Amino acid sequence: MNNPSIESGKVPAALGAAHYRMVAELADAAPENVLDPATNPAVVLSAQSLTKRFSEGPLNVSVLQGVDLQIRRGETVAIVGASGSGKSTLLHLLGGLDAPTSGAVQLHGRDLAHLRAAEQGRLRNRHLGFVYQFHHLLPEFSALDNVAMPLTIRRLAPMECAEAASKILAMVGLANRMQHRPSELSGGERQRVAIARALVTRPDCVLADEPTGNLDRSSADSVFALMLELAQAHGIALVLVTHDASLAARCKRQLQLVAGRLVSVR
Ligand SMILES: Nc1ncnc2c1ncn2[C@@H]1O[C@H](COP(=O)(O)OP(=O)(O)OP(=O)(O)O)[C@@H](O)[C@H]1O
Ligand SMILES: [Mg+2]
């Protein structure tokens, strides 16, 4: 796991490395049984005055200019915006995969910036599912093992992990692709594996970055319907970044990133 090859070279190396680091941290983390009660149990994820500026070398890009957001249990929120407006950047901050330049993110009332890496990893594993824009599946593992990974990290029994993973893979239409590695899957199949991995733990909140961007209309509709169904059945909040207006319209709230700020679309 120290020098992983990154799936098909499509992803920024830094984010790929961060993902592998996260997996390694989670693997080291002790299982968690009880969490401190949150200040307001209905709020899963909360962000205040988030700004993000990339300023490495000659680069100086101010992407987010003061984002406030609260995600409540079970609600569905679409985030739309032009390419380059900062949607992926915002999701990474909400998921603790990157740190804001200023402002704060709380997951169940706990400020991510104040937690040690292992504790942050444990909170993420327990409460968040993430569908990356470029999937970030582990190339050495089968679809089944990729989906089972968050449960394996929780140290559930291998049989239990495999059963849950195969059940959800079947739900996204991949019953006959479980032993395939990511390189042996189509783009849309990889996307569905990534969605299955985010949902398999029944997290409190799924952060999904263009989760159906590689799927044809009818697969996108049915996979998204499944995400909504699972979200509703298990009280999972869903934060969806999308360019697809018809998917955005199926969410309870629609927000748009404009000039680094979130505005309500309806
Ligand atoms: N690591 C980085 N260093 C410098 N600039 C960055 C970095 N990551 C993102 N950016 C810049 O921040 C802006 C927002 O990027 P982001 O990936 O969040 O956009 P997006 O809204 O998700 O776009 P898309 O719809 O194309 O996926 C872009 O202009 C991008 O060039
Ligand atoms: Mg993006």
| pLDDT tens digits along 212-257 | 888 888 888 888 988 898 888 889 999 999 999 999 999 999 999 9
How much is the pLDDT for 21? 46
Residue 188 to residues 42, 81, 194, Cα–Cα distance (Å): 34, 23, 10
CA of 171 to the centre of ligand 1 (A): 32
DSSP notation for 9-72: G-S-HHHHHHHHHHHHHHHHSPP----PPPSSTTEEEEEEEEEEEE-STT--EEEEEEEEEEEE
CA of 215 to the centre of ligand 2 (A): 16
Ligand 1, atom 17, lies closest to the CA of 88
Q: Which ligand 1 atom is the nearest neighbour of the CA of 52?
A: 12
Residue 257 to residues 69, 108, 111, 201, Cα–Cα distance (Å): 12, 24, 23, 29
Ligand 1, atom 31, lies closest to the CA of 84
Q: Which ligand 1 atom is the nearest neighbour of the CA of 89?
A: 18
CA of 209 to the centre of ligand 2 (A): 7
Q: 37 pLDDT band (50/70/90 cuts)?
A: very low
Q: What percent of the chain has pLDDT over 90?
A: 61
**Closest ligand to the CA of 53:** 1
What's the pTM?
0.84
Q: Which residues line ligand 1 (CB under 6 A)?
A: 54, 59, 61, 63, 81, 83-89, 133
Q: Compute the distance between CA of residue 24 and CA of residue 27 in angstroms, rounded to an integer.
A: 5
Q: Taking a C-beta distance cutoff of 8 angstroms, is the pair 243, 49 a contact?
A: no
Instruction: Provide the mean pLDDT of the chain.
Output: 84
How much is the pLDDT for 55? 87
Q: Taking a C-beta distance cutoff of 8 angstroms, is the pair 238, 204 a contact?
A: no
The 8-class DSSP code of residue 215 comes to S
User: Is the pLDDT at 34 greater than 50, yes or no?
Assistant: no
| Sheet arrangement for strand 102-107 | 61-72, 43-54, 102-107, 110-111
Q: Compute the distance between CA of residue 143 and CA of residue 195 in angstroms, rounded to an integer.
A: 11
Q: Compute the distance between CA of residue 72 and CA of residue 235 in angstroms, rounded to an integer.
A: 10
